[in-house]
Structure 1
């Protein structure tokens, strides 16, 4: 998995072969195929592993639920932005857009393995906050989409188009915290 992850992130899906993954991992090509069946499944597993790291923000991550919703959201947002703004991810994202157009099934599988799971996990946390009266939303999945959009914003686009070369932690934190505060204001319960 580590060898595949490094190669996929460096060269993209189309630029990586099973033979290269096997050679870098020090195993045979047959071993890779036995374990993962095909390159698409191997790539999907790499994406799932990355998404699992993001889920730590809510599942035993660095912020305990008792520290408050804003803290938990900011922690998740920072982990997400840390992942999305890494140079190797930005490069991979540029390549994947083209590959998904040619291989829509791969795009669907990776969407389900990555962004859909992140949004679902975030929606669970928001639904709990709504149940507790901390937030007011009719559709937690849509609310999660709103928050993800606020976090990603123009920074991700600027990185993709090479307007920015990187983003430092202070800028990312400021961006995430602003997005979280904006979201919380929009979804605060109405005071009658």
Structure 2
């Protein structure tokens, strides 16, 4: 059985001037699963620069560095709705050299602690990303609530009405996850 060391993980708000570096590190981390599953990927980054920028610019977006003992080891992009408390984890990554050390789970716990009024968290991942699916379901307690595919389209996938300029290998097959934190009207 693999053991992981205890991690001293914290979150730090990202400065706007560092977003290009953040995007590059995120795309490097995401490319690993694509390459492992489909072989060498095109020259286009995954997720696309446009998709990452849309996450940065979304209403309620908050961008964090994930720090371990003060050193940058990953990041997360959240969307926080202070009215409904239905929040979204748009993007999260841990740099590949820090995988399998418990950093992702510690970061997720830090995110939950930072937003204790959250009623519901939502996120998604491509169907082929087994590592992410395991992380969300078996580590963080999310449930798969929807599977977007050719028979059931994601209503948010093509917001601008045109085809994605940089589709993922394997198509637009995605799982949508939810984690219920609090039931309305109950004191948890």
Larger radius of gyration: 1
The TM-score bracket by the shorter chain reads: under 0.3
Give the TM-score normalised by structure 1.
Answer: 0.27
Larger strand fraction of residues: 2
Larger helix fraction of residues: 1
